[in-house]
Structure 1
Amino acid sequence: MKKNIAIIMGGYSSEVAISIKSGNVVHKHLNKEKYNSYRIHILKEGWFYVDENETKFPVNKHDFSVEIENSKITFDCVFNAIHGAPGENGVILAYFDLLGIKHTSAPFYQMALTFNKRDTLSILKKYNIPAAKSVYLNKGNTIDTSDIVEKVGLPCFVKPNNAGSSFGISKVHEEEKLLEAIEVAYKEDSEILIESFLEGTEVSVGVIEYNNEITVLPITEIVSENDFFDYEAKYEGKSQEITPARISSEEEDKVRAIAKKVYTVLNMNGFSRSEYILVNGEPHFLEMNTVPGLTEESILPQQANEAGISLAELFDNAIQTQLN
């Protein structure tokens, strides 16, 4: 008997359109012989099942069900394709846990933790994972730009603490531009992170559970045409994403080892994609994405393809891991 799969997409952040694109790709590639897949839009204006004719049916939030032509549809598993809140920060996953509905992401606490860049770095520091020097600010804090520059140097990066897809990130070359960058970041989040610039090769690596084993996917080298790997570079073709990365076998071994260690230390499961800068051959952790882009062009699917894993296999594995 076919399983009913709800593919949740959209969300409450600036990443709505990207998430819907990812969710639609999951819907397209899910095995139709094994699953009935339902596109569920989770939006600020409401939760809806959207059928093939783009007709909307409201979701009953009491039990996460949908009524279609007097027939009540419930779900065996939820495929999480929401980038940002409330999918990637774990909020909606706690709701599914309360309802007893399985989902393809890590437990809600791990999702909340890894969505918070500051808290993730604090934990990894205890495990001697190299990272950039950093300063944290909460909205309303007194800002001493000279003190910040003294701690992290220039250029530096100003980032929202809880956001994705490079929204709100600025690379600052002059102290006079720091306040402006901080205000840009505060538009996305009330907590921000200011980090030192790391000079080196940027790489991205997916770590997933595949066939019940922690699997490190082939590594991707990021070469941005812009000043850094910003929104344009990620989504508008302003970068080269080279898989496998043009790094030495020694560097590859180091990235693979540290990526697996980070995944294990943070007690992750499901999808993850982490970014590192290789500084003098040593990987420095930047951040982890637990709902990475899932379109045909996205980095993690590129890596899976390089490993001989199709999108259908990738998505099926995520669901079967939870159902078994």
Structure 2
Amino acid sequence: MADKLKIAVLMGGQSAERGVSLATGTQVLNALDSEKYAIYAIDTATGLASLPRRAGVDGEETVVTALTQLPQLEKAGRPDIVFVALHGPGGEDGTVQGFLETLRIPYTGSGVLASALAMDKVRFKMLCTSASIPTPAGIVIKKSESARRRRAEIEIGQQLGFPVVIKPCRQGSSYGTRLVKEPEDVAEALKDTFRYDDTALIEECIQGTEITVAVLGNDDCVALPPVEIIPKHEFFDFEDKYSLDGAEEICPARLSEEDTKEAKELALECHRLLGCRGMSRTDMFVTEDGCIVLETNTIPGMTPTSLLPKAAAAAGISFEKLLDLLIGYAQEKK
């Protein structure tokens, strides 16, 4: 029998999305086929490694995890593929991708440049504008711009009006994101946003049907069925995203054939514009005037409530098969 492919799952990390990353990593570890892969995991924040061993119990497989110090990973040897299950800064922004490039170890997901550009919402908007991809009107305020921060409510009112969405430039999972309806709430919202990043992106609040469209593949990529998102709260916040009783998610989305086609084409365009590989997920609103893109994620969540696995399932792709595909795309880059 040929040697199993060695898969190291990077998870945890030090960003605000550490908990989400641990959930993604655990889901991936439990679903990877132990008949095909030799699997272990690394928490990049603690320096601890998990060596999952699968043992049969009454015909069912159970994952038994032993925590060991990182140097003991030498026993497992150099991984053939790294499965990146990190979210947020330090995992999704090109930094760990650059490290793996230096080590010449293939990894799942996009490369350094695509990861960095997608993580930076301001630069992503600039790219979209250059390619005539519609995004919400917005302004940018830096933490260091004390004078602009003091008059932010006036500037927002004049240029965008209310309500607006205020979010960190480089953060995910809706951390530091607020829906602001009144000028007097701007200062507090900015204060919260600046806890996560030194740059705030303020955008007009779009009215329409919120959807997300996942894309799989490298050069030859395909868009999966759009997922419609119906938040329980005023916008798709952290609780809506990760609670088991969070937002209602419908796949395929209840869209016209024309809107579905446009949404898929925009997701593919964003994937190619950034130079994404393996996977991406583009969030957007469908309005009376067409689709408006919010952002593209290069490492979508893989938790039990995540949207990429839901879209894949609607396309007839099981979670296990999805992981196999992502590993295969990583091998194409080798």
Instruction: Give yes or no for contact 2:212–2:281 (8 Å, CA) kept in 1.
Output: yes
Change (3 A) 1:90 1:254: same
Task: Report SS of the residue matched to 1:252.
Answer: helix
Aligned equivalent of 2:10: 8
Counterpart amino acid of residue 35 in structure 2: E
Whether 1:300 aligns to 2:311 is no
Counterpart amino acid of residue 317 in structure 1: L
Change (3 A) 1:297 1:147: closer
CA–CA distance in structure 1, aligned partners of residues 116 and 88 of structure 2: 10
Aligned equivalent of 1:163: 171
Whether 1:86 aligns to 2:90 is yes
Task: Report SS of the residue matched to 2:70.
Answer: strand
CA–CA distance in structure 2, aligned partners of residues 128 and 322 of structure 1: 30
User: Shift of residue 87 of structure 1?
Assistant: 1.2
Aligned equivalent of 2:67: 56
Instruction: Give yes or no for contact 1:251–1:281 (8 Å, CA) kept in 2.
Output: no
CA–CA distance in structure 2, aligned partners of residues 250 and 239 of structure 1: 25
Aligned equivalent of 1:216: 223
Structure 1 residues 254-273: aligned runs within 5 Å: 254-273=262-281
User: Shift of residue 238 of structure 1?
Assistant: 2.7
Structure 1 residues 107-256: aligned runs within 5 Å: 107-141=111-145, 142=147, 143=149, 144=151, 145-209=153-217, 213-236=220-243, 237-256=245-264
Instruction: Give yes or no for contact 2:277–2:329 (8 Å, CA) kept in 1.
Output: no
Task: Report SS of the residue matched to 1:66.
Answer: helix
Task: Report SS of the residue matched to 1:238.
Answer: coil
Instruction: Give yes or no for contact 2:143–2:198 (8 Å, CA) kept in 1.
Output: yes
Counterpart amino acid of residue 178 in structure 1: V
User: Shift of residue 213 of structure 1?
Assistant: 2.6
CA–CA distance in structure 1, aligned partners of residues 315 and 215 of structure 2: 12
CA–CA distance in structure 2, aligned partners of residues 4 and 23 of structure 1: 16
Counterpart amino acid of residue 5 in structure 1: I
Aligned equivalent of 2:60: none
CA–CA distance in structure 1, aligned partners of residues 275 and 73 of structure 2: 33
- Tell me the alpha carbon deviations over residues 225-281 of structure 1, each in whole angstroms, 9 at most, x when there is no partner: 101000111112231011010111111111011111111111111121111011215
Q: Percent identity?
A: 32
Instruction: Give yes or no for contact 1:296–1:302 (8 Å, CA) kept in 2.
Output: no
Change (3 A) 1:109 1:2: same
User: Shift of residue 57 of structure 1?
Assistant: 2.6
CA–CA distance in structure 2, aligned partners of residues 176 and 90 of structure 1: 37
- After the TM superposition, list the runs of 4 or more consecutive aligned residues in structure 1 that deviate by more than 6 angstroms: none
Counterpart amino acid of residue 59 in structure 1: L
User: Shift of residue 72 of structure 1?
Assistant: 5.2
Could you state the TM-score of these two structures normalised by the residue count of structure 1? 0.93
Instruction: Give yes or no for contact 1:186–1:192 (8 Å, CA) kept in 2.
Output: yes
Aligned equivalent of 1:36: 38
Counterpart amino acid of residue 99 in structure 1: L
CA–CA distance in structure 1, aligned partners of residues 76 and 17 of structure 2: 30
Aligned equivalent of 2:295: 287
Q: Where in structure 2 are there 5+ consecutive unaligned residues?
A: 53-63
Structure 1 residues 301-316: aligned runs within 5 Å: 301-316=309-324
Task: Report SS of the residue matched to 1:271.
Answer: strand
Question: In angstroms, what is the RMSD of aligned CA positions?
Answer: 1.4
- Tell me the alpha carbon deviations over residues 84-110 of structure 1, each in whole angstroms, 9 at most, x when there is no partner: 121111101101100111100211111
Task: Report SS of the residue matched to 1:163.
Answer: coil
Could you state the TM-score of these two structures normalised by the residue count of structure 2? 0.91
CA–CA distance in structure 2, aligned partners of residues 73 and 318 of structure 1: 22
User: Shift of residue 189 of structure 1?
Assistant: 0.8
Task: Report SS of the residue matched to 2:47.
Answer: strand
Aligned equivalent of 1:22: 24
Report how many aligned residue pairs link the two structures.
Answer: 314
Task: Report SS of the residue matched to 2:193.
Answer: helix
